[in-house]
Chain A
Amino acid sequence: MKQRTPKSQGLAYKRLPRRALILGGLQTVFIGGLAARMRFMQVDQADEYRLLAEENRINIRLIPPTRGRIYDRNGQIIGQNSPSYRIVVVREDAGDVDKVIAKLSDLIPLTEDEIERAKTEMRRSAPFLPVTLADQVTWEDISKVAVNAPALPGVTPEVGMTREYPRYEDFAHVVGYVGPVSDYDLSQIEDPEPVLRIPRFQIGKVGLEAKQETSLRGKAGAKRVEVNATGRVMRELDRQEGETGADLQLSVDADLQQYAQARLAGESAAAVVIDCETGDIRAISSAPSFDPNLFVRGISVADYRALTQDNYRPLANKTVQGTYPPGSTFKMITAMAALEAGVIGPGNTVYCPGHLKVGSRRFHCWKRGGHGTVDLGLSLKRSCDVYYYDVALRTGIDRISDMCRIFGLGVKHDIPMSAVAAGLAPNQAWKERVHGEEWLVGDTANASIGQGFMLASPLQLAVMTARIATGRAVSPRLVRSVNGVEQPSGAGEPLAVNRTNLEYVRKAMFSVSNDRRGTAYRSRIIADDFRMAGKTGTSQVRNITKAERAAGVIRNKDLPWERRDHALFVSFAPYDNPKYAVAVVVEHGGGGSKAAAPVARDIMLQALYNGTPPLEAYPVADRERIKEQQKRLEGDRRPKARPSEKDRA
C-alpha cells in the first residue's frame, strides 16, 4: 500500500485552506446579511410590526346596552327586561354532539328544526363558540338540564335579557314591541350603529318602542379582548361600560288603561281619555288587542294569521291610526264656525221639517218627522241635522275647515306612536287639489254633520273635546318624563275663539247628557261634582238610497256587522271644572247614544274616581245593571296567569 504524506496531496491540498476560508468568508457575509435583516426588522421597523401584532391579538367587542324601562304615570311597569334562558352547546366540550343532543331531547322538548339549525351552525363556527340549541326555555327545563349537567358535557344554560310586557294586551298598541334587528330594519337606518349588528339584538318595531328607540336603546359599551388566531377570547384587557337606555314614564294610568281595555272587550272600538289641562293621555285603548310578548319571542304563523284574519283587526291601533267620519260629534265645530262667523246667534232658529233641499238633492234629518223649530242649544241636544245643513251652507266650508284646525282636527298630533293619522278637514282647495273637482254645496252639507270627506281619529276627537272644555289649545302628551326629566306639558294657549260662543256650545253639550230629552241622557252622571257634558255621534258607513228611505231605513241590528253605523261619543267632565275629556268610537256599534255613550261614561267615572266609582254616581235605574257589570269587569281584570313561556306541543 502506498503511503501518502500531506506533501503528496500537491496543489489540491494547498488549495483546501484557501477555499475553506473563501467559503467561510461567504458564510460570514451571509450571516452578516441575516443579522442586518434582523436589525432592520426588529429595530428599524419594530414599531410597525408591534402595531400589526397588537391588531392581530386585540379585538373590540361591543357590550349591548340594557334597554330603558317603561312605566305608567304611577310607576307601574309596562315594559321591562327580564331574564330569558337558553341552552347552548359548545362543540369542543360536548365530544359526541349527536349523542349529547339525543340525551338532551329526552329531557326537554326540542324540535327537529331547532336541532337541525344548531347542527348546521356548529359545523360552520369554531368549536369553542357556543351555539344556541333552544331559546326561551322555561325555568323548569333549565333546572332539568342543570340537574343532569354531568351527563351532558358541553351543554350549559345561559341567561340573557329579553323584553317583557307584564300588562299583556293593555299596552300593545301604545308601547308596541321589540324584535331582533332585520335586514330591512338595517336598510332603513342610515349609518346603523354597530350594536345593531349583534345577533339577537332587539330594537323597537312599532309603537313607542320604535318611536323612542334612540332614547330607550342607550349606548353600547365596548371591551377590548385578547383573541388567538382562531378568534377564541383569551382574556379581557379592559372595558368601557355603555349607557343604559333611558327609562320612560308615560302619562297613561295603567289601571285606567286596563279598565278601558276591559270595558271595550268584545267590540271593535277605541277609547281615549285625555287630561283637559295638561293634555296627558290617561288611557288610550284600542280593542281588540293582542299580546305583544308573542311578537318578542317570534310569533307563530298560526297566531299571526289569526290576528290578521280577524274582522275586528286586533293589530290596528284604532285610537290614532283609525279615522272615522265623526258624525254628530262634529256639530260643535260647525256651530263654532257659524257663531264665530256671525252667521247665527244662539237664539236664531231654523225650522226642521225632516229634510232640506240642497241644490237638487234632498238632505235628510235622522228624525224622519223633523225637529220643528230649533235653536243652537236644542240642535245639539237633539242632534238635529237640518239645523247644521242650514248654518253650514251660510258659513261656508272654508270657515268650518279653519275651525277644525283650531280644535285639532285634520292636524297630526305629535305623539310617539306608530301610524298617527292626520284625519281630514276638507276645504274647497283640498277637493280641487286631490279630486280635481269643484266643491259642491252638498259636500258642505255632508261635512256639517261630520260625514262625507270629514275624518277624525279618536285621539283627535278627544283633543277636540278637551279644547272645547277648556278653551285652550291642549295638545296630547304620551311621555311624561324621560329618565326622570319632565317633558313639556301639553297645556296650550287660549284658543282664538270667542269665549262666549264657546260657552253656548259647552252649555248645549251639557244638556245632551243632562236634559231629559238629550240624546245621551241615559248615560248621564248624577254625582253633583262630576256632571258630564257630551255629544253623541252616529256615522254612516253606507249610502241610504231613495228607495230604502221610502220603504223605511233598515235598522242597524238587521244589517250585517260591517255595514252598521259607527257609534261615537265625546264628553268632558266635570262640567264646571273640566278634568278629563273622553272620546269613544265603537266601530259598527250602531247608535252613539246606545253603544258609545255608556262606555264613555263608565270610563269617565273610572277616571274621575281614580278607581271603581260608587253606584251613587249612576242613575238609580241603572244601578243594578252597573253593579253586575262592575263585578264582571273586576273578574276580567284579575291579574292574568303568566302563560307558559314556550308552548311546545
Chain B
Amino acid sequence: MSYLEYAVKSTPSGFRKFFYMNWPLTLLLISTASAGFLMLYSVAGGSWTPWAEPQMERFGLGLTVMFIVALVPIWFWRNMSVVAYLGSIALLIFVELFGTVGMGAQRWIDLGFMRLQPSEVMKVTLVMLLAAYYDWLPSHKTSRPLWVILPVALILIPTFMVLKQPDLGTSILLLAAGGGLMFLAGVHWAYFAAVIAAGFGLVATVFNSRGTDWQLLKEYQFRRIDTFLDPSTDPLGAGYHITQSKIALGSGGWNGRGFMQGTQSRLNFLPEKHTDFIFTTLAEEFGFVGGITLLTLYGLILVFCLVTALSTKDRFSSLVTLGIALNFFLFFAVNMSMVMGLAPVVGVPLPMVSYGGSAMLVLMAAFGIVQSAHIHRPR
C-alpha cells in the first residue's frame, strides 16, 4: 500500500470533493478563458461566430472534463501514467502514418468533432510519466547516471517524433518541460550544466548544417529564425507577421484603442489573429493595462499550482502539478515572446485564450489532474 492509499482516510469523498477543489485556480481558468471569448468576439468583428461560440462550448466541455478528472483519485492517474505515455506514443506513430497534413506538417488526427494533436497530449503524459518515475525511484538513486539516462530517453523519444512532424515549437516545449521536471525531481545540477553546454553546441551545429546534405531543420524553419533575427529582411513575407504583430501591440499604448477598435486586427493586418496572435489583439485593444492583467492572471495560475504542489506531501502530486504548471508557463511565455518579437514565430497558441479545441481540452484535463492532486492530497 502506497503512501497515498494509506492516506486516503484523510481525503474527502463523494460530492464533498467539490468543496476541497483548488477553487481559486478554477476561477482563474474561467477568467482567462472569458478573456479569450471576449477577444474572439472582437476579432470576428463583434460576432459570436465563427470563433467565440464554439470556443465557449469547448470550454464548457473542458470544464466538465476537468471536474471528472479531478474527482478521480490522484493515484489512479499515477497508475495510468505508463499507459497514458505509451498511448501518446502510439498516437504520435498514428499521426505520422495517417495524420492530416496542415501547414507543411503532419500534426492532426481528425476526430470529426475536433482535431486532436497528439503532441499536445504528449506534453501532459510525459510530465505524468516522469512524475510517476521519480515517485517510484528511491531518492538516493535520482542522480545516478543510469537512472538519469532512462528519463532522458523517455523525453527524447517523443521529442524526436514531434520534431519529425515537423513541429519545432512543441518539441522544444517537450524538452523544456521534461528537463524542468528532472530539475524539480532533484537531479544533480551538474547534469543540467552539461546539457546546457551541449545545447549551445547543438545550436551551433544546427546552424552549420544549413545548406549541407545533413541539414537538420527544414528550410522554412531556418527562414523563421532568419526573419526573427531581422524581420526587416522580409517585410512582406515571413517578417510581415512579426512586424505587424509588433505594430499592433505597440499601437495599443497605455490603455488600448478600445474594445473592437483595434485597427490592426479589424483590418486584417494581423495574421492568425484568432489563434497564435490573439494576444496582440488584446494588447492593441486594451493596451498595456490589458496585457498586464492577463499576464497577472497567468502568474496567479502558476502561484496556485505551486500552492497545491507545496501543500501536498505526495511526491507524484507535487511533481505532476509543478510539471503541468511549467508546461502552462512555457505555453504563454513562448507565445508572448513570439508576438512581442522576442522569439521566432514557432506556432504556439496562447493557452486558454487562443481559438482551438485540442490544446484547451488537454490543458483542462491536465488542470483536472492538478485539482485531483489538490483534493486527494494527504493532509
B residues 174-195 near A (Cβ < 8 Å) are 180, 183-186
Contact B315 A9 (CB under 8 A): yes
| Minimum C-beta distance from B290 to chain A (A) | 10
Known A35-B295, A42-B283; judge A229-B267 contact (CB<8 A).
yes
Contact B249 A49 (CB under 8 A): yes
A143 within 8 A of B: no
1/0 per position for B1-38, CB-CB distance to A under 8 A? 11100100000000000000000000000000000000
1/0 per position for B260-277, CB-CB distance to A under 8 A? 000110111100000000
Contact A234 B267 (CB under 8 A): yes
A52 within 8 A of B: yes
Contact A20 B247 (CB under 8 A): no
Bound CA–CA A15/B134 (angstroms): 13
Bound CA–CA A163/B283 (angstroms): 52
Contact B310 A20 (CB under 8 A): yes
Residues of A within 8 A of B2 (CB): 1, 3-4
Residues of A within 8 A of B306 (CB): 20, 24
Contact A5 B3 (CB under 8 A): yes
1/0 per position for B176-220, CB-CB distance to A under 8 A? 000010011110000000000000000000000000000000000
Bound CA–CA A45/B341 (angstroms): 14
1/0 per position for B236-270, CB-CB distance to A under 8 A? 00000000101111111110000000011011110
A503 within 8 A of B: no
Contact B340 A56 (CB under 8 A): no
Contact B184 A42 (CB under 8 A): no
Contact B267 A227 (CB under 8 A): yes
The interface size bin for chain A is 35 or more
Bound CA–CA A49/B247 (angstroms): 5
Residues of B within 8 A of A23 (CB): 180, 183-184, 322, 326
Contact A52 B288 (CB under 8 A): no
1/0 per position for A13-54, CB-CB distance to B under 8 A? 101110110011001101100110111011101101110111
Contact B251 A49 (CB under 8 A): yes
| Minimum C-beta distance from B32 to chain A (A) | 14
> Which residue of the partner chain, among A27, A34, A56, contacts B337 with CB atoms under 8 Å?
A34
Contact A11 B333 (CB under 8 A): no
A-side binding surface: helix, strand, loop or mixed? helix
| Minimum C-beta distance from B284 to chain A (A) | 8
Q: Which of A16, A17, A42, A46 has the most CB of B within 10 A?
A: A42
Contact B340 A34 (CB under 8 A): yes
Bound CA–CA A38/B287 (angstroms): 9
Contact B292 A35 (CB under 8 A): yes
Contact A20 B292 (CB under 8 A): no
Contact B264 A53 (CB under 8 A): yes
Residues of B within 8 A of A560 (CB): none
Residues of B within 8 A of A5 (CB): 3
Residues of B within 8 A of A234 (CB): 267
> Which residue of the partner chain, among B139, B266, B268, B295, contacts A11 with CB atoms under 8 Å?
B139
> Which residue of the partner chain, among B310, B315, B333, B340, contacts A38 with CB atoms under 8 Å?
B340
12 additional A-B residue pairs with CB within 8 Å, beyond A49-B249, A56-B263, A229-B269? A5-B3, A9-B315, A12-B186, A16-B185, A19-B186, A20-B184, A27-B329, A28-B299, A31-B333, A34-B340, A38-B283, A41-B246
22 A–B contact pairs at CB < 8 A? A1-B1, A3-B2, A3-B6, A10-B139, A11-B140, A12-B140, A13-B315, A20-B184, A20-B309, A37-B340, A38-B291, A41-B250, A42-B288, A46-B250, A49-B247, A49-B249, A49-B250, A53-B263, A56-B264, A56-B267, A228-B268, A228-B269
Residues of B within 8 A of A (CB): 1-3, 6, 134, 139-140, 142, 180, 183-186, 244, 246-254, 263-264, 266-269, 283, 287-288, 291-292, 295, 298-299, 302, 306, 309-310, 313, 315, 318-319, 322, 326, 329, 333, 336-337, 340, 342
